[in-house]
Amino acid sequence: MLLLEKLVGPAVPVRFLLFSIIGALGVGTHLLTLWFGTHVLFLAFTLAQAVATVVAMSGNFFLNNLFTYRDRRLRGRRLWTGLISFYAVCGVGAAANVGVASYLIGGHHSWWLAGLAGAAVSVVWNYAMSSIFTWSPRRAAAPIPLARPAAAPPAEALPPR
């Protein structure tokens, strides 16, 4: 990771670069799963698309948890609540992607430019929001205050010997 930081410098955060690379792998996973669902399992396109989306998002979550956010790696129960929050964040990112791309294509821009703009919006959104909601830095638990020893009663309050 340090070598990568030296190569890309301060211009692009390494964590964002890793997140984006894993996202690109997710696109490939999505397309492969979609093809498998429609051509091998003969699923309806809509069902295959939904399955491919969940498979790609799940793969991206686990790879990001393993590599991109290894210093904030989620385990146990937090792994599963993190997965659900990642689904929610990426769902909003997908809606933003479609919204931006649809707006641009309506303005007679080329389909690939509209698609790239939508993808750019969603990758920035997904990265920023999952950093906050899914992999937020763990706060250290507040230290438990130690019980103070009881103060000795004043000498005049003690019973005579």
pTM for this model (two decimals): 0.77
Instruction: Give me 39's structure tokens.
Output: 């051509």
- Is 139 a member of any domain? no
Give the domain extent around 80.
Answer: 75-133
**C-beta atoms surrounding 5 within 10 Å:** 14
pLDDT band (50, 70, 90) for residue 111: confident
What is the number of domains present in the chain? 2
- Is 161 a member of any domain? no
CA 87, chain centre distance (Å):
8
Q: Are residues 63 and 98 in the same domain?
A: no
How large is the average pLDDT for residues 3-13? 72
pLDDT band (50, 70, 90) for residue 76: very high
Q: Are residues 58 and 25 in the same domain?
A: yes
Q: Are residues 20 and 61 in the same domain?
A: yes
C-alpha to C-alpha distance for 121 and 127, rounded to whole angstroms: 10
- Is 95 a member of any domain? yes
- Is 152 a member of any domain? no
Looking at every residue in the chain, the average pLDDT score rounds to 87
- Is 90 a member of any domain? yes
C-alpha to C-alpha distance for 97 and 111, rounded to whole angstroms: 13
Q: Are residues 58 and 95 in the same domain?
A: no
Q: Are residues 38 and 20 in the same domain?
A: yes
